[in-house]
Chain A
Amino acid sequence: MSITLAVTAGILFAAGTYLVLQRLLTRIVVGLGLMAHGANLILLGAGGEPGAPPIVGTADPATFGDPLPQALVLTAIVITFGVTAFLLALAYRSWALTAEDTVEDDIEDRRIAELRRREHP
């Protein structure tokens, strides 16, 4: 793990968090994508220093990069794709139903909060 990798991952998380903390669904999906990239960098960095591709016979095994984090990242990439696609389908559906792309407040929760405000101003 180099400092560059750690800082880059931090920037990706910060940008992703900023986008996730609002209510346009498409922005949230983009934010999640940024965070996923940051997470992948962290995973990769956990494997140590950069090395040769872990393909037996192409290089000395002592110079290989750690293959386990690579396998984990591969899985993570695919799962992120599934999540992104599903969220986009939700955004699509939400748009088709309400012509809006926003995550509304939970109405029931709002009502309870209003109740409290009324009773205890």
Chain B
Amino acid sequence: MTSWPFLVVAAHFVGAAVLLAMPRRSRRAAVVVALAPMAAAVVMAALAAGAVIDGDPVTADISWLPALGVSLDVRFDALALIFTFAIAAIGMAIITYAAGYFAPEADLRRFLALLVGFAGAMMGIAITDNLFGLFVFWELTTVTSYLLVGFQDEKGSARAAALHAILTTSLGGLAMLGGFVLLFQAAGTATLSEIVASPPSGTTTTVALVLIFLGAFTKSAQAPFHFWLPGAMAAPTPASAYLHSATMVKAGVLLLLRLAPGFAATGVWTPVVLTVGLATMMIGAWRALRQTDLKLILAYGTVSQLGFMTALVGLGSPVMLHAALAVLVAHALFKSTLFLVVGAIDHQAGTRDIRVLSGLGRRLPWLALIAVLAAASMAGVAPLLGFATKEAAVAALLDEHAWIALAVISVASALTATYALRFVFGAFGTKPPSGEVDHVGPEVAAPGPTLWGPPALLGAAGLVFGIVPGAVDAVVSAAAPGGKLVLWPGWNLALGVSIAIIAAGVAIYAAPAALAHLQHRVAARLAALHVPSAEGSYRWLIDMLNRVADRVTGITQNGSLPVYIGVILITTLTVPAAAWIGAGGALPQLPPLGSAAEIALGVFVAVVAIAVLRAKRRLAAVILLGGVGYSIAGVFVLFGAPDLALTLLLVETVTVAVFAFVLGRLPRRFEEQPWRLGRAMRAGVALVVGGFVTAAALVTNGIRTAPPVADVYVELAPDAGGRNVVNVILTDFRALDTLGEITVIAAAAVGIGALVMRTRTQRRTDDVPDTAREAA
């Protein structure tokens, strides 16, 4: 049984379901249930690691909808191993942390259920080898992310942010699905590994790739879709640390990494992916410098780092992919650490505003140390993992003479060092007293072990792996062979670039006035150019959507029943008429006029029907309707249908009686009504409908090709126990129809009973005050 990765994924969903079923108050048990599937994932990833790193992925075919090429085929390769391990290990840290983070009255159980369900979906993305299976898990992460961003659903801002996130990512997901379908068509298979092994080419493939890029870019918060990610900071901090920095937002990069070996040489790949990645990296870093909320500094930092990874994948060569994956691992570690530190600060101090926090470093030196370690990794300082990975990227860029990319990445990396400093000093530094805000800091209580333990572990991992990068390198190289992570590269050009980057970052931090001036000028210049902001465009788009929906609804749903019926009738006519004209519009051989008796009855029916229209009194209209019915019964007799004639006579009589009963309560005459549809309009529609019915009856007449089934009925009727063939059809050959008919009548009877009796009792209760008044 090699489908255990699938079983581990399934275990997460089971865990989520169990959590939802648990009582709200059993927090400890909830934490255990949440940890269990992730522990299983870690154990199984560790067990499989040896073989997987040697290039022997665990595979299993799990068919789902084979006819559509949809399956849940498992392919647990080195890339899946990295993701599974990161999802499970960081997930366990987050769950432990969440247990200490949430107040006793918060619904920890629901949070954990969503988190564990998300983890299962995310692992599903990593291990699935089928395009459509991947899409399903992809959308599951979208939904869980939506629920987690909107976790504090009593806050309007959280709901708006959640809506923004799901709209952006699911629109991208939809485009991606279209891309998958096209890719499936072009490649003839939906199995990812096969597609990448022998990639299709041509226009279809190009269109497919662009659509898939949309999915990847929205998920990984690339410009111009990046804006949902800062908004997603409305989620509880443990969720932000997990979904919106360490795992989910990497899904887009993961997809690009999976496709790159097959498609990086395609003409559309590098220009689009590299450009978007570089732009995102700059925008994210630039905006991170402006933030005063610690969480937003990190969120824009995440946008920037995702841009970094995307740009590297955009260059597409093996060594670049290696560097991108290494950066991804390093980022997962340091960014989740930093988020958890922010969560601890927020939890203890009640604020994340760097203008308010002061002196926290002296009060919480250990937390500060964890933050410094992680921030140094983010800035790319040796000997942390962030240094080794950035070094690998810089060396690769130098090697391949990708000068423009190197220049942009260097500048953005310098800004990264700046906002790392801004983060550390903003959170833990001591600020000069100011009259505007009351500083918070020295009186803050120390956080409990669940709040500093998990970030300490994750931060320490960044240090350990930085000193021993071989451990990370072994797995990363198995997934993307081509590069190497080393602790000390020796004195070379790449190291010089790295040192220059950090020096520039420190220099920028040291000149805050100049930076603020520059930020201001750029903002002013952009405003003068009327460059629409991502946020503004989103608002405009949503607003337009609502307006168009209002307009369309206003036009199609004007609320008037006659108008609706008119539209339905005209549609009913137009479609078959169009089909008839489309088929050549052949006119039929006209049938005979009919016997004299038929003509006489027909004329009578027509006259009575028109009299119904002119009737001013309700009772007259009903009696005339009965007259039409009796005449039709006459037609039935002519056609050799005595049963029908008898039934119709009976039904018409009862109908008139029922009408008379109801009409007794209604006014005698029809009230004149203001018509929504004018009289001429109604007459026009009526004539068209009538003409169409006549024409359709004549056209369809005589086109029968098969012999009537009734011949068999006639033959078999005596065997079924009756000589009247119509009766035998109703009670035997088509008895099920009759049963349905009886059911309809029974349902109508129950409805009528309820309507009439309810009215009666109501009237009786209504009567009471009247009688009382009369008595008084």
Residue ranges of A at the interface with B (Cβ–Cβ < 8 Å):
1-15, 17-24, 26-27, 30, 33-34, 37-38, 40-42, 44-48, 50-58, 61, 64-68, 70-71, 73-75, 77-86, 88-93, 95-97, 101-103, 105-110, 112-113, 115-117, 119-120
Contacts and interface: CB of A to CB of B under 8 A. Distances in A.
B714 interface: yes
A57 to B, nearest CB: 5
A68 to B, nearest CB: 5
Interface string B661-680: 01101110011010111000
B612 A34 contact: yes
* Consensus secondary structure, chain B interface: helix
Contacts of A17: 569, 682, 685-686, 689-690
Interface of B: 547, 550-551, 553-555, 557-562, 565-566, 569, 590-595, 598-599, 601-602, 605-606, 609-610, 612-613, 618, 621-622, 625, 628-629, 632, 635-636, 638-644, 647-648, 651, 654-655, 658-659, 662-663, 665-667, 670-671, 673, 675-677, 682-683, 685-687, 689-695, 697-698, 700-702, 708-711, 713-715, 717-718, 723-726, 729-730, 734, 737-738, 741, 744-745, 748-749, 751-752, 755-756, 758-759, 762-763
A15 B686 contact: yes
11 contacts: A8-B602, A9-B697, A12-B605, A23-B676, A30-B622, A44-B639, A56-B718, A80-B651, A109-B558, A112-B554, A112-B557
A47 B591 CA distance: 13
Contacts, number: 325
Contacts of B655: 33, 81, 84-85
B84 to A, nearest CB: 49
A82 B730 CA distance: 18
A119 B547 contact: yes
Contacts of B741: 75, 78-79
Nearest to B566: A21
A95 B632 CA distance: 31
A6 B639 CA distance: 14
Q: Which of A42, A44, A54, A93 has the most CB of B within 10 A?
A: A54
Residue from B625, B636, B709, B726 having most chain A Cβ neighbours under 10 A: B726
Contacts of A52: 640
A50 B640 contact: yes
A51 B725 contact: no
A58 B550 CA distance: 66
Contacts of B663: 26
Given A21-B566, A85-B658, A44 B636 contact: yes
Contacts of B708: 47-48, 66, 68
A5 B625 CA distance: 18
Contact of A3 (B590, B606, B738): B590
